[in-house]
Structure 1
Amino acid sequence: MALQDRLDAIKADFKAGKAPYHAPPESHPIMERATAELIASGQAGRAIKAGDRAPPFTLKDQNANDVSSADLLARGQLVVTFYRGVWSPYCNIELQAINEVLPQIHAYGANVLAISPQTPVLSRKSVRENRLGFPVLSDLNGETSAAFGLRFSLPGYLVELYRRLRNDLPTFNDDPSWTLPMPARYVIGRDGIVLYSEVNADYTRRPDPGDMLVVLEKAASNA
């Protein structure tokens, strides 16, 4: 099943209140309003995109080891996905879908990592529960997502909803700011230039992982 089909199924279950999703019906228009406002802001169009130089970063993985983008790019292309956190079913399904094509990505000489504002403890949970073969890095304080142009502040009315739903981002992220990254996926070439980018202000919409395989194949053939 295509990734977007899986995400659409989650969205339908969420709106229907099917287990394990128990958000009250009045929460849906609040979330949709926040998404519409983020789309209208145009921030996604201002984020790092194909042709730009990717900001370098060094972040802790789920085991508190330093992971450097420069070190990984010295070995090959790099796939980076920005991940809101283990509390988001949409993000977890996306990581699982990327993990399914991990052998193909590795066959092209590329590596994969996810970047999240959550703490390393929750990143370990992400890796364990999603059975990931790649690391989840902790972007504490959101500096890397900000460098990519992805970090945004939740509007006050959405903060209040998250509090009611016990989506306690300040605790999850060890950061009082109530900020998140827009979901985004990048393929970065060995020279640091972005070869592929997909940024979506609507967290329920994600590109299929197969979309980037053609880019990785071309990059591998030109290496």
Structure 2
Amino acid sequence: MTDQTIARQVDDFNRGFTAQIGPELSAVFDGEQADLRASGVPDGAVGAGETAPDARLVTPAGEETSLTAVRGSTPTVIVFYRGAWCPYCNITLRTYQQDLLPALHERGVQLVAVSPQTPEATEQSIANGELAFPVLTDPENVLAGRFGIVTEPSAAARVAHTELGFDVADSNADDTAAIPFPSVFVIDTDGVVRFADVHVDYTTRTEVADVLTAVDDLVAPAH
């Protein structure tokens, strides 16, 4: 178990990261985050009460599946993340592994993570967080697109990424820089979204406690 919220871990990381990359690159990312917050959640993003869309997904072994097949008849928490290159994603997935997954198992709910990166990069995500839940590739962001949550880094941020030695397109299965907004959706046994939390600022994430509150509302016995 971790004893820290994701937000606190992100604050700790950001202090070191800012010192490491310097004020110029930090200003680029700060500007990108401010622009994202100003734009807000896309109008077309799937919300609570809507039917969860479906699309083809790929396992780390390269086998094809789909969200519907993965969900089956089990309540499911689906997490969209940007990729193994994103430190905020790694913090989040590691925290979900340690703190969220055991609590979901107790409630009969499964956890699934999805990103547009290649199956090989997905294996890196699994290794980074020692993840013991399904982590799948969404080729060309088809599923994320149907959830209405596709974006991409700003041009200035991509230049900054290059200065830091990587490019998002190199990790993605379709060689583009398109990525999902970090998001959590709780889906019931009928395939209806019961909770939706889309984070346009990628340095913030859905906390474990908030996911569990939504799940408990879902699986609570009727009175």
Q: When the two structures are superposed, what TM-score results if normalisation uses the length of structure 1? A: 0.90
Once residues 96 and 75 of structure 1 are traced to their aligned partners in structure 2, the CA distance between those partners, rounded to angstroms, is: 26
Q: How far off is 1:43 after superposition?
A: 3.5
C-alpha contact 1:76 1:111 (8 A) present in aligned 2 = yes
**Among 8, 12, 15, the residue aligned to 2:11:** 8
1:161-199 CA-to-partner distances (Å, cap 9, x unmatched) read 222222221211143432211111111111111111111
Q: What is the correspondence of 1:51-200 to structure 2 with a 5 Å cutoff?
A: 51-100=49-98, 101-200=100-199
Counterpart of 2:195 in 1: which secondary structure?
A: strand
C-alpha contact 1:4 1:206 (8 A) present in aligned 2 = yes
Counterpart of 1:115 in 2: which secondary structure?
A: strand
C-alpha contact 1:73 1:191 (8 A) present in aligned 2 = no
Q: How far off is 1:222 after superposition?
A: 4.2
Q: What is the correspondence of 1:182-221 to structure 2 with a 5 Å cutoff?
A: 182-221=181-220
Q: How far off is 1:73 after superposition?
A: 3.3
Once residues 218 and 153 of structure 1 are traced to their aligned partners in structure 2, the CA distance between those partners, rounded to angstroms, is: 33
Q: Are residues 59 and 174 of structure 1, via their aligned partners in 2, closer, same or farther at CA, if it must alter by over 3 Å?
A: closer
Unaligned runs of 5+ in 2: none
Extract structure 1 runs of 4+ deviating beyond 3 A.
Answer: 43-46
Counterpart of 1:195 in 2: which secondary structure?
A: strand
User: Which amino acid is 1:118 matched to?
Assistant: Q
Q: Are residues 107 and 58 of structure 1, via their aligned partners in 2, closer, same or farther at CA, if it must alter by over 3 Å?
A: farther
Q: How far off is 1:83 after superposition?
A: 1.0
User: Which amino acid is 1:152 matched to?
Assistant: T
Q: When the two structures are superposed, what TM-score results if normalisation uses the length of structure 2? A: 0.90
Counterpart of 1:43 in 2: which secondary structure?
A: coil
Once residues 165 and 11 of structure 1 are traced to their aligned partners in structure 2, the CA distance between those partners, rounded to angstroms, is: 15
Unaligned runs of 5+ in 1: 18-22
| Larger mean Cα displacement after TM superposition, 153-162 or 143-152 | 153-162
The residue aligned with 1:20 is none
Percent identity, aligned pairs only? Answer: 31
